[in-house]
């Protein structure tokens, strides 16, 4: 049996004691235990994982079930009483977890005198590194508080990790009247939206479900592709003033119907119907619903049924997308608003339609309308996730990015399963306020909730986002995996091939090879000035200044002809190249334009830019002063690690002892952060 150090043993004794005090509290979890231990969540997760091989939630769950076994054997309490004593407020869920952990239900404890099952129910799901610690941790728990029975935990842990993942498949219209499709789709959307408000669930996006609308795949095939435990199927029709809806909940892996129900309601009871469906599903899965979530789920969007009917027609068009559908959807939302001027959800969705219509247009013709609609949505229901999304979209379209962030964060609080908000946050931290860890975390969260749409091109760009986030954080092989998946879905994705050229450099450190890959992509489309500037940059790193000048001169002609204010942050390199080929005056102009750019730069890279500027000027004292400041920044991009010391500007200053010392610290911090990020993301099931 592996030995624990005295410090580790003391830590586990304290951990067990703290958990024992709160066993009866259902909501006691990672955050509560971290507070009790006076530790950060990340440190607690890392230390418990290192010593036990378990996540904190698994550790707590095992203690609850071990304590339950002791109580069932030694006390007179029944199953229901014991379940509450160990923090399971639902006896049915307790029975389910107990059976999965021990191999038999709690009601049979008195009939069994031997130990629990000696073999894992499924040996294929045992995870490396955990088995060897099970004896250690369980003996500590036995001696400290429980005196329970030893039992391997991997099957339970796997079930616990995936227990509450769910997808709502597109509902089918049982009526021959195709005009009722929007109503059935609206009921599906409402069911999905209500479930997405529950943080205890992992609810996949509508776009993930939509690709299975006409699919002939089996339930286990879909469950495996989507990595979910539960699937909701529904079908219904409108008959006069009545709605008949059939809903069933299915165990994805076993293709076993867990629950089904037929709902017959008057159309006037549509909100009560939506609420009842969501509650029934959540109750069957044993999802914990907070009072705040319950309040948001129960809130009716409007009291006017005609307004809601118009809203559902508009929502159906909004979800289809396309310019014509987007503008037509607004007409239905406007009709809903005319019937109920306080209809916050209609205002929010109308604003979203304008955002999508204007998103890629140079002229934002609907910006003011988006602002007006989002203001009304916030006014009439600020606790509505869609209201927060619409307001954030207004600031994003207006390019006031810092103003958008609090609305995105508040929206995610109200809609914790919204792949739309998570995607917007990922792009925010990639493009507007660069933060590699947050970018990666949101990109991976989005991957958990959005298994891709039926559109292979959209799926390709989805995987591109994940791959780009991974490489920026130093996850090289993982990044290449997702970029390759992106190209499988859409081989013509030129941006994926572009990113792949730089991932290849992270693997082989061959700049010549990187340049050749970029040339191949540029020859396919010579209007790609993004590749053009990188061809100049890579040539610069290779000290091939004539080639670098050729590419930069081409880039500058495009910038001048099209009056583009792009890649100003690259003007330092442009200027140095011009100087190297004898264009001293022009080079100076580019260098000073870069210096002016730094005055307005609010990113983590400002001090690095000033370091390189002063190094070029030969003022190493100022360069090192700014380099020390840059060393204090967190979550820098991997590109800095890969390319900084290859920059010709750094040729002289990198000989300086202090530069070497600071750089060694930056590299060490980067890889330490990388390792910590891996642990955190693995604990959250994101990596």
In this structure, are residues 236 and 155 in contact, taking their beta carbons and an 8 Å threshold? Answer: no
What pLDDT is stored for residue 56 in this prediction? 82
Question: Mean pLDDT, to the nearest integer, of 283-307?
Answer: 89
Q: Which residue has the higher pLDDT, 56 or 262?
A: 262
Residue 115 has a pLDDT of: 43
Distance between CA atoms of residues 283 and 297, nearest Å = 14
The mean pLDDT of 336-352, rounded to a whole number, is 97
Confidence check: pLDDT of 160 > 80: no
| 607: CB partners within 8 A, 6+ apart | 626, 627, 629, 630, 633
* 239-248, 325-334, 373-382, 539-548, range with the lowest pLDDT: 239-248
Domains (range + CATH), the chain: 6-162 (1.10.10.60), 165-300 (3.40.50.10610), 306-417 (1.25.40.10), 456-680 (1.25.40.10)
Lowest mean pLDDT among 31-45, 62-76, 426-440, 465-479: 31-45
Whole-number Å distance between alpha carbons of 62 and 11: 18
Backbone dihedral region for residue 321 (phi beyond 0: left; psi -120 to 50: alpha; all else: beta): left
pLDDT over 70 at 129, yes or no: no
For residue 286, how many C-alpha atoms fall within 13 Å in the half-sphere facing its CB?
15
DSSP per residue, 427-473? HIIIIIS--HHHHHHHHHHHHHH----S-HHHHHHHHHHHHHHHHHT
Q: What is the pLDDT of residue 352?
A: 96
Under 8 Å CB-to-CB from 429, ≥6 apart: which residues? 435, 436, 438, 439, 442
- CA of 306: how far to CAs of 48, 302, 309, 311, 652, in Å? 55, 10, 5, 9, 74
618-643 tens-digit pLDDT: 999 999 999 999 999 888 999 999 99
With H, G, I as helix, E, B as strand and everything else as coil, classify residue 203.
Answer: strand
Phi-psi region of 582 (alpha: psi -120 to 50; beta: other; left: phi over 0): left
Count of CA atoms in the C-beta half-sphere (13 A) of 243: 24
pLDDT of amino acid 138: 40
Question: Quick one: pLDDT at residue 150?
Answer: 28
Answer whether 575's CB lies under 8 Å from 538's CB.
Answer: no
Q: Which helix H or strand E contains 257, and what residues bound it?
A: strand 256-266
Using pLDDT thresholds of 50, 70 and 90, give the confidence band for residue 137. Answer: very low
263 sits in which H/E element: strand 256-266
Helix intervals (H) in 359-435: 367-380, 385-397, 401-414, 419-427
């Amino acid at each position: 049996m592996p030995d624990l150090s005295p410090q580790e043993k003391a830590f586990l004794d304290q951990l067990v004691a703290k958990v024992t005090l709160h066993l009866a509290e259902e909501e006691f979890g990672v955050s509560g235990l971290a507070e009790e231990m006076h530790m950060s969540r990340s440190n607690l997760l890392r230390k418990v994982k290192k010593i036990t091989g378990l996540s904190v939630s698994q550790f707590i769950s095992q203690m609850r079930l071990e304590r339950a076994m002791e109580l069932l054997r030694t006390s007179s309490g029944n199953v229901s009483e014991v379940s509450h004593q160990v923090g399971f407020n639902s006896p049915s869920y307790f029975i389910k977890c107990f059976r999965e952990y021990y191999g038999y239900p709690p009601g049979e404890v008195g009939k069994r005198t031997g130990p629990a099952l000696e073999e894992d129910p499924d040996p294929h799901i045992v995870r490396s590194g955990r088995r060897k610690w099970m004896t250690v941790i369980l003996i500590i728990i036995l001696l400290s508080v429980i005196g329970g029975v030893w039992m391997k935990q991997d099957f339970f842990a796997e079930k616990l990790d995936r227990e509450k993942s769910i997808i709502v498949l597109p509902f089918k219209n049982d009526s021959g009247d195709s005009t009722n499709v929007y109503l059935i789709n609206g009921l599906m959307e409402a069911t999905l939206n209500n479930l997405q408000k529950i943080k205890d669930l992992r609810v996949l996006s509508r776009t993930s479900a939509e690709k299975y609308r006409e699919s002939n795949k089996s339930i286990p095939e879909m469950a495996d592709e989507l990595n979910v435990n539960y699937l909701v199927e529904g079908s219904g029709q409108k008959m006069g003033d009545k709605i008949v809806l059939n809903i069933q909940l299915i165990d994805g892996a076993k293709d076993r119907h867990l629950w089904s129900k037929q709902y017959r309601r008057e159309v006037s009871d549509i909100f009560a119907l939506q609420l009842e469906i969501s509650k029934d599903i959540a109750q069957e899965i044993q999802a914990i619903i907070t009072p705040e979530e319950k309040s948001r789920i129960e809130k009716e969007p409007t009291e006017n049924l005609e307004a809601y009917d118009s809203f559902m027609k508009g929502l159906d068009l909004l979800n289809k997308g396309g310019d014509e559908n987007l503008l037509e959807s607004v007409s239905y939302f406007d009709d809903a608003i005319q019937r109920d001027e306080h209809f916050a959800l209609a205002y929010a969705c109308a604003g979203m339609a304008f955002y999508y219509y204007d998103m890629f247009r140079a002229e934002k013709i609907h910006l003011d309308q988006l602002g007006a609609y989002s203001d009304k949505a916030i006014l009439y229901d600020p606790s509505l996730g869609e209201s927060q999304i619409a307001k954030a979209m207004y600031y994003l379209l207006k390019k006031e990015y810092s103003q958008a962030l609090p609305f995105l964060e508040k929206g995610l609080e109200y809609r914790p399963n919204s792949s739309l908000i998570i995607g917007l946050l990922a792009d925010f931290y990639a493009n507007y306020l660069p933060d590699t860890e947050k970018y990666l975390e949101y990109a991976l969260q989005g991957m958990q909730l959005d298994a891709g749409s039926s559109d292979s091109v959209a799926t390709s760009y989805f995987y591109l986002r994940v791959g780009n986030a991974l490489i920026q954080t130093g996850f090289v092989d993982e990044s290449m995996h997702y970029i390759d998946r992106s190209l499988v879905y859409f081989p013509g994705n030129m941006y994926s091939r572009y990113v792949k050229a730089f991932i290849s450099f992270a693997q082989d450190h061959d700049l010549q090879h990187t340049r050749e890959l970029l040339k191949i992509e540029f020859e396919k489309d010579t209007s790609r000035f993004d590749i053009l500037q990188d061809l100049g940059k890579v040539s610069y790193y290779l000290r091939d200044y004539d080639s670098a000048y050729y590419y930069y001169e081409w880039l500058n002609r495009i910038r001048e002809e099209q009056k583009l204010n792009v890649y100003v942050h690259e003007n330092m390199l442009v200027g140095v190249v011009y100087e190297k080929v004898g264009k001293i005056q022009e080079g100076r102009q580019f260098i000073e334009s870069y210096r002016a750019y730094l005055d307005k730069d609010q990113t983590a890279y400002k001090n690095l830019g000033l370091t390189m500027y002063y190094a070029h000027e030969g003022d190493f004292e100022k360069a090192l002063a700014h380099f020390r400041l840059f060393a204090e920044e967190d979550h820098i991009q991997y590109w800095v690690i890969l390319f900084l010391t290859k920059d010709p500007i750094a040729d002289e200053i990198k000989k300086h002892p202090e530069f070497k010392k600071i750089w060694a610290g930056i590299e060490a911090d980067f890889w330490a952060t990388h390792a910590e990020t891996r642990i955190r993301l693995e604990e959250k099931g994101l990596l």
